[in-house]
Amino acid sequence: MRITAEHRNNQGVRQTARHIIVAFMMLLAFTVAAQENQPISTATNADTAKAIVDRYLTLMNYEGLPADSMLYIESSIYDFHDRSDTLVMKRWFLPPHNHRVELWVKGELQLGYLTNGIDNARRYDTIKQVWQKITVPDYYDKGAAYDFHSPLYKWRANGTEMQYLGEKELYGVKVYEVHVETPGMHVREYLFEKENGLLFFVIEHPEVFGGDVDPRNTHVDWRAFTDYIHIGSSLLPYTESYRRNGHVTVINHRYAFVKKEKKKFE
């Protein structure tokens, strides 16, 4: 994992391939290691897990984003084996609660959500090609999935249960492993690099909270974070790759602070 001073506009295919190969190796090593049963003291390990996650969120410093401007994120999303069909996700965030997301496919807006976090939320209707009003709870049920914050950011609010599973060494990298269960969502393992505290790998199991297997997904999926960059006083990932239902996707992010514009969230 690297921390870079500024983003790059293009990521080489060879470098991305190396990242994905490492991700597969991590998954294989984790699967073997996970077969070893280790006793867990819930109280002690829950406190340790929270400390590890808090260290990571402190490094991210989401609260450090300037309130006098908006954070703009443009993400190029493409199939690892086919870079010709690239999706583009555009997101705007104005502290503390204003969010807007747009997903563009071949130059056409295919998905959109926005909210001011108080009394207004809208969804883009692709048939009528207009923004239609929805309830704020509806937004948080659907649109919040595209928030740039990590899934761990709101763990206190969404009932996440965390346990520390110990320290491991995978291919020369010492990591802390945190087991996470969120009601109604998948069971996950988060791997944080011991040296710098950054999240670099997530294992997502087909079981949902409570032990049931999602019949639509029997694969063990993963998400890898291979680069972080400084955006003002915050630290955000530049490159992500993930496997979902056996299919690998790569995401490159570009960040910028733009002029404050509240109309984006009306």
Q: Please list the pLDDT of the chain residue by residue as tens digits (266 residues).
A: 555 544 443 444 444 445 444 554 555 454 444 444 444 444 567 888 888 998 999 999 998 888 889 999 999 988 766 666 679 999 999 988 899 999 999 889 999 999 998 999 999 999 999 999 999 999 988 888 888 888 778 765 565 678 898 888 877 888 899 988 766 566 788 999 999 999 988 888 765 555 555 555 556 688 888 789 999 899 999 888 887 777 788 888 999 999 999 899 99
Domain 2-265: homologous superfamily in CATH: Lipoprotein localisation LolA/LolB/LppX (2.50.20.10)
CA–centroid distance for 245 within its chain: 17
Q: Does the model's pTM come out above 0.75?
A: yes
Whole-angstrom CA distances from 212 to 36, 66, 99, 185 are 22, 42, 33, 11
Of 143, 155, 146, 144, give the one whose Cα is nearest residue 57.
155
171: exposed, middle or buried (C-beta count within 10 Å: 0-12, 13-18, 19+)?
A: exposed
